[in-house]
Amino acid sequence: MVSPEELISTVERMEARLPAHPELRRVYEGLVPRFEKDLGASPRDVALAKSAALMVVQALAKQRALINIDVSDLPAATKFYCEGLGLSGGRRFGDDGIELLGAPAAIYLLVKPAGSAAARSTSQRRDYARHWTPVHLDFVVPEIEPAVARARAAGGVLEGEITTHGWGRIALMADPFGHGFCLIQFLGRGYDEIASI
């Protein structure tokens, strides 16, 4: 077993190698007190909290993509994605957005009013009725039925029966803002069951 002194020394070395990116430093400094609250105040607990925060920051440093989801009601969207999909709130950006953690990439809910311009290059306006888009999120879950029940209880809509395929099971759903998403339960080797290479 690692002694508290060895743990503290290791964490200090890891802190020294923390990426210089100011945003990652802010994330780290925000996570440490949250983890300390859960773990305790002993020197060993503080070192464990810092170690956990460093692991999160190291994972974020490797991220190459962020997910932005436009919503018209930030409190309702936060409630859905946290209660319905098991994500947790990260940093808040005033009334304009929130960072959600718990997925392989950070998800940002961004407030954009219904009827506002979608982009300068199109006359299309934001509409939060159910809409189709060629890009959507899939959330991998260990068991699909409880995940569907949880999402539905938080305001999600199941758009058909859960179906089973060679790679697993899928539930096609929509969030309260018309965005489609899927819940996926892999079976066997997941997509490797159908991969040709």
Residues 6+ apart with CB under 8 A from 44: 4, 7, 8
- Among the candidates 62, 94, 110, a domain finishes at 62
> 156-186 pLDDT, tens per residue?
999 999 999 999 999 999 999 999 999 999 9
Which residue range(s) make up the domain with 150? 67-193
Are both 134 and 178 inside the same structural domain? Answer: yes
Percentage of the chain surpassing pLDDT 70? 96
H or E element at residue 50: helix 43-62
Residues 6+ apart with CB under 8 A from 116: 125, 126
Are both 156 and 122 inside the same structural domain? Answer: yes
**Residue 103 pLDDT exceeds 90:** no
Percentage of the chain surpassing pLDDT 90? 54
Are both 132 and 113 inside the same structural domain? Answer: yes
Are both 82 and 123 inside the same structural domain? Answer: yes
Are both 56 and 92 inside the same structural domain? Answer: no
Q: With H, G, I as helix, E, B as strand and everything else as coil, classify residue 181.
A: strand
- Among the candidates 62, 90, 110, a domain finishes at 62
What is this structure's pTM? 0.69
> 76-94 pLDDT, tens per residue?
999 999 999 999 998 999 9
Specify the number of domains making up the chain: 2
